[in-house]
Amino acid sequence: MRTESSVLRSKDLLGIEPLTPEEITLILDTAEGFKEVSERPVKKVPALRGQLVINLFMEASTRTRVSFEIAEKRLSADTLNFSASGSAVEKGETLIDTAENLVAMHPNMIVIRHKHPGSPKMLAERFENIAVINAGDGAHEHPTQALLDAFTIRERLGRLQGVNVAIVGDIKYSRVVRSNIHLLTKMKANVTLSAPPTLLPAEIEKMGVRVVHSLDEAIEGADVVMMLRIQLERQGKLSFPSLREYYNTFGLTRERLRRAKEGVLVMHPGPMNRGVEIASDVADDPRYSVILDQVTNGVAVRMAVLYLLGGAHASE
Ligand code: CP
C-alpha cells in the first residue's frame, strides 16, 4: 500500500528540476510539521528508526552537512559521516568504488555532496535499492537549499505565488541559483537576476527569469533579495576587476535596500563573504535578514526529505 509518505515519485532527490509543484508543496508542508520537533524538550521522533543514512561529503560544507546529520538524528536514523579527507579517496579510490564499499554495509540512504555535476545521479542509477539525496553537485543543483529557501519565504510571506524574488551575484557558478530558479518558477514566483555580464550564463532568460544589469533595478519592488556567494573556488580567477569594485557595484548595502518593498527579506545561502556581496550591517539586521532562519529551517526541510524518501523506501 502506498501511504502519504510515499507520494514522491522518485526514490531519490537529485534536483528540483524533476519535481512537480505538488511534490514541492508536499515537502514544504511535511517540513512545517517537522519544525515543531526541534522546539520540543526531547527533539526526536521514531520515523526512521533502524535505517542507516550515510552522509558522503566529498566537498567542504558546514550548514548542509551538519543539518542533514541533525535531521537524521531527530528522525532516529543511524548516521555515518564519510568525508574524503582521511579516507582511501586520498589513496586514489574512485567515487564508485568508495560507494560500492559503503553500500556493501547496507545503508538505506546516501546523502552526497560532490564537485562533479551528475555524481548523485550516477549513484542513484547504480544502486536501485538506495535513496540518494543530492546535497550539492558542482554548479548543477542544490535542491534542499532551494527547498529551505522556499520554506523560509512561505513562512514569512505566506505564499510563493506572485512573490518578487531578486537573485544577485555569481549566477554562473552557483548551484543554489539553478535550484531556486526551477523551484520559484514552478511555484509561480517572479524571478529577477542581476550579475556582472561575466557571471551571467548565456540565454539564462530561457529559464523563465528576467535579467537586469544593475543591482538597483533588481531590488526595485522586490519582496525578497537573495544574495549569492562569489564562488572563487569555481571561478579559478576573478571574473571582475577586484573585490572592492564588485562590492561597489553589486554589494547589498542599507542604502541600496531602500529601493525594495517595505518588509523585504534578505537571504543568503552561506557562507557569506562579508563586505563583498553583502554589508555586515545588512546581514546582521533582524529587520531584514532571515539568513539564520534559513539555517534553522534547513533541519525541518531535510527531515521532510529524509522522511518522504525513507518512508517510501521502507513501505515497498
Ligand atoms: N548553503 C550551503 O550549502 O552551505 P554549506 O556549503 O556550508 O553546506
Quick: pLDDT tens for 153-182: 999 999 999 999 999 999 999 999 999 999
Instruction: Give the residues surrounding ligand 1 with Cβ less than 6 Å away.
Output: 61-65, 136, 142, 145, 269-271
Asked if 193 contacts 135 with a C-beta cutoff of 8 angstroms, the reply is no
Which of 55, 62, 70, 81 maximizes ligand 1 atoms within 8 Å of its Cβ, making it the mutation to test the pocket? 62
The per-residue pLDDT for 137 is: 98
pLDDT exceeds 80 at position 134: yes
Chain segment 25-71, per-residue pLDDT in tens: 999 999 999 999 999 999 999 999 999 999 999 999 999 999 999 99
Grade residue 240 by pLDDT with cuts at 50, 70 and 90. Answer: confident
Assign 3-class secondary structure to 251-282. CECHHHHCCCCCCCEEECCCCCCECCCECHHH
The pairing of strands 78-83 and 164-168 is unpaired
- Ligand 1 centroid from CA 270, angstroms: 6
Beta bridge partners of 132: 110
The whole model's pTM is what?
A: 0.95
Asked if 269 contacts 145 with a C-beta cutoff of 8 angstroms, the reply is yes
Closest ligand 1 atom, CA of 135?
A: 3
Q: Which of helix, strand or coil describes residue 62? A: coil
- Ligand 1 centroid from CA 3, angstroms: 32
What count of other Cβ atoms lies within 10 Å of the Cβ of residue 93? 14
Candidate from 74-83, 99-108, 237-246, 282-291 with smallest mean pLDDT:
237-246
> Cell triple for residue 56?
558522503
> Cell triple for residue 146?
532551494
Mean pLDDT, rounded, for 58-86 = 96
Gyration radius of the chain's alpha carbons: 19
Residues designated catalytic: 63-64, 91, 113, 142
- Ligand 1 centroid from CA 23, angstroms: 23
pLDDT exceeds 70 at position 231: yes
Alpha helical stretches, state H, 112-165? 119-126, 143-157
At residue 286, what is the residue type?
P
Q: Phi, psi at residue 168, to the nearest 5°?
A: -130, 135
pLDDT exceeds 80 at position 263: yes
Query: Which residue minimizes the CA distance to atom 1 of ligand 1?
Result: 269
